[in-house]
Amino acid sequence: MKNRKLLMIPGPIEFTPEVMRAMGMPTASHVAPNFVDCMGQALERMREVFLCPGGQPFIVAGSGTMAMDMAACNVIEPGDNVLVVNTGYFSDRFGAIMERYGARVTYVKATTIGDMPSLDEVEAEIGKADYKGLVVTHVDTSTAVRADIKGLGGLCRKHGILSIVDGVCSVAGEELRQEEWGVDIALTACQKAIGVPPGLALLVASPKAIETFKNRSTPVGNYYSDWANWLPVMESYEARKAAYFGTPAVNLVWALNVSLGQILAEGMDNRFARHRLMSDAFKAAMNAIGLKQIPVSADKAANTLTAPYFPEGVNGSVLPLIAKAGAILAGGLHAEIKEKYFRVGHMGVVNASDILATVGAIESGFAKAGYKFEHGAGLAAAQIVLLK
């Protein structure tokens, strides 16, 4: 493993050896008793990880975008009004998906990149039309801005609107209490904080979301994602009986069940706290070497990733230098500022040594790129937070 580099991007992330071993298990029949047990247990564990004891979990082959598609096509009908709280790239995508299924989409957007519309602005917009759904990206991976899901969930409950949360960069890393916070659909993909190689779309729907689906007056405009096909399959596996609609991604489900078990063994509250600590340490390091971040304030910044601006005189050509020093990072994604910043994912099994190694690699890359700063200042700042 001499050439091992840390994969510190916002997904895929570093995976545990146990998860990787599960990927390599002999592929069972999707109706074999050991697979039925595994799928059933993974579904039960989903509820615990999403903190949604009364929800209906779905595990389907696909990426996070497929989970967004599944959410939109099952609860939205042509002509429905949908409000998108827009924080960047993935909010734009969710809006486009909603429009594809015939929704009339309105966006509330902060005027500054890195900011969030306030709850008052969102509520004012809710008052202007008969909204059926509100969509929000919990952590916008393009900006590292984190939305106030508890606050928005409360607004949706108050106004009787379905709340749909893109938690692809948050679930199992960022604090998200689906049931308590009144979130009707929370979704993610397995390659982010869930910690499994890419390929599974994961979603938990509240009883209200399922009821909305059951009361539709038009057919679901997507065959593969239609809950009419998947709901009986999920219910059946959970009752430890095999069922078939589309062949499940057997090896990914082995791996998912292992990872969900590891997440629950750590405990959700411990996991949220560890992500906060790792994030605080990493952000302190970036501040110490003089890098500003996209989120306008600390309370709007995610714990699963950091999006620092390049300092004066440095650009994306520093990223290969950082990779050479041991940490693979991601470039910018938000169209308007794409060339001006970079992104560092710190979610899943990330620990203190990963943070220090990444900060060290960043310092090394920036030094080689000619940026002037006090060498070691980032490492020292991260250590101070980690030692607290």
Ligand X SMILES: *Cc1c(COP(=O)(O)O)cnc(C)c1O
Residue ranges binding ligand X (CB under 6 A): 10-11, 63-65, 90, 137, 141, 166, 168-169, 189
Least distance in Å: CB of 144 to ligand X? 10
Q: How many residues are listed for the chain in this entry?
A: 388
Q: Which is nearer to ligand X, 15 or 35 (CB)?
A: 15
Least distance in Å: CB of 11 to ligand X? 5
Least distance in Å: CB of 9 to ligand X? 10
Q: Which is nearer to ligand X, 134 or 169 (CB)?
A: 169
* Burial status of residue 115 (CB atoms within 10 A of its CB: 0-12, 13-18, 19 or more): middle
Q: Which residue is nearest to ligand X (CB)?
A: 64
The structure tokens listed for 166 are 């893109």
Least distance in Å: CB of 364 to ligand X? 27
Q: Which is nearer to ligand X, 22 or 202 (CB)?
A: 202
Least distance in Å: CB of 69 to ligand X? 9
Can you say how many angstroms the Cα of residue 95 is from the centroid of all Cα atoms in its chain? Answer: 17
Least distance in Å: CB of 209 to ligand X? 18
Q: Which is nearer to ligand X, 64 or 182 (CB)?
A: 64
Least distance in Å: CB of 112 to ligand X? 20
Least distance in Å: CB of 309 to ligand X? 20
Q: Which is nearer to ligand X, 11 or 117 (CB)?
A: 11
Q: Which is nearer to ligand X, 169 or 379 (CB)?
A: 169
Q: Which is nearer to ligand X, 13 or 210 (CB)?
A: 13
Q: Which is nearer to ligand X, 63 or 287 (CB)?
A: 63
